[in-house]
Structure 1
């Protein structure tokens, strides 16, 4: 068995629309913090000099959104109501959705914009594969090469509504991408809307989640490291954050060599 990490990191050094704030507590600071907490909350005095090297344990505090780094979007992210009932939050999603056979589609030649169903059909025909119900479909757009930069949020391939619906009609419950969003970039969407006046171009992949219950994995990485387009398992369990519309995930491909 071989494992391939498909996750991008949460890194406070990266450029993000909502910056990550990462505050690190050293082991020495952890010792002083522990001593102060014991005194304040339990009335216990403790001399940190009794600890080896005067150090206890380090700790890290982060301020970030649940859409930072590789994460899974829950149906609740797409809106407050859905045709199938109340959209579920991330901790309520079935675990078996996130451990399933995977297939990766190469969209690296498409460029910036929203790919339609013809693009998906052509790529599936090229690799000779039809997704089965429950498969996890991964989109390799090439966006991972720009992670950490402003271009990561403006230059990538998304899906339009019909392309997303095509995959859902095949029984797919989870669609993943190495890009910031499963939809086209915000500037492309707004520009297209202003040019056409067509409201269907406004985040169709996300808003389709109000009609069809499914999840997205966004901000994947290393999809080009997969040796074959299918024949592997994807594991991408989201962190169990109560009431949240998304949860961070360590996405991994499992290959049986």
Structure 2
């Protein structure tokens, strides 16, 4: 579904005196033909301004862009339901030789039993294939459990399904933020209580290339602390690592997994989701003594 945002300069006068001026402000709008009056109302709603009087807009432009969940806007509470659920794949396909991270080997796919060999085992006209895969656990899109970081943390068998299936999702769009570190200030406006917080950086466009790990986005220590404090249920990112890979202490992994919050790395296609209203699912197989494993991550749209 095509969505639009308005970009404008504005001057607001207040009924009790004083004023406010902004330049290059954005709000989500319901359609490409949104009027200046509609944009002005959305602007005031987005800031929660009290005792606002006249609003004068200049340089108004409606642009095609994903909604970011402007408060009071058309996607603030998700998109209205339209019958049968729709699903969006948010995982990378695992392929022979693909490179998730340059310091890790790619998966090797082979045949344990070929169709030709199986014909000597089964009745005439009946054949099967049994595949074999050798890969590190950190391949493609994967989920981290506490055991990935802590020897006494629970492994992949420790998360109940309600922690990983149909979790209400919030998409935090950061691809045009101009900053690599995702800090508490960037996350403060969002209601993350009980939500899967999905950090959309746009880095997934470089997945399986050497550039994927260059200038990669990451969650800062204070960003992780805020998400824990505000009760996030899960944190996902479409970048090479949820941590700054130059920081060997790995604060985001350390804090989130220490709080029992699952992490999903190497997501993709988050731009296809609304800012709110979708649900997120990412389930690995229940492997004992493993802290990480690939998942089929997907969203159910409202």
Where in structure 2 are there 5+ consecutive unaligned residues? 1-84
> 1:103: Cα distance to partner?
0.5
After superposing on structure 2, the runs of 4+ consecutive aligned residues of structure 1 that deviate more than 3 Å are 110-113
Cα 1:111–1:24, aligned 2, differ >3 Å: closer, same or farther? farther
Per the alignment, residue 19 of structure 1 pairs with 105
1:189 to 247, 250, 259: 247
**C-alpha distance in structure 1 between counterparts of 2:241 and 2:156, whole Å:** 17
Task: Tell me the TM-score normalised to structure 1 length.
Answer: 0.76
Per the alignment, residue 247 of structure 1 pairs with 293
Alignment of 1:224 onto 2:295: no
Alignment of 1:171 onto 2:238: no
> 1:57: Cα distance to partner?
1.5
Cα deviation 1:95-140 (Å, max 9, x = unaligned): 111121000101112457432211222xx3xxxx4122x2100000
Alignment of 1:235 onto 2:281: yes
- Whether the 8 Å CA contact 2:118–2:127 is kept in 1: the answer is no
- Whether the 8 Å CA contact 1:110–1:157 is kept in 2: the answer is no
Q: Tell me which structure has the larger Cα radius of gyration.
A: 2
- Report the structure, 1 or 2, having the larger strand content: 2
- Whether the 8 Å CA contact 1:183–1:203 is kept in 2: the answer is yes
> 1:76: Cα distance to partner?
0.8
> 1:91: Cα distance to partner?
1.1
1:1-257 matched pairs, under 5 angstroms: 1-16=85-100, 17-25=103-111, 29-32=114-117, 35=120, 46=121, 51-52=124-125, 56-80=127-151, 86-99=152-165, 100-110=167-177, 113-121=180-188, 124=189, 129-132=190-193, 134-184=194-244, 186=245, 188-189=246-247, 202-209=249-256, 211-226=258-273, 228-256=274-302
**C-alpha distance in structure 1 between counterparts of 2:271 and 2:284, whole Å:** 22
Paired residues, number:
215
SS in structure 2 opposite 1:189?
Answer: coil
- Whether the 8 Å CA contact 2:236–2:263 is kept in 1: the answer is yes
**C-alpha distance in structure 2 between counterparts of 1:63 and 1:89, whole Å:** 20
* C-alpha RMSD of the superposition: 2.3
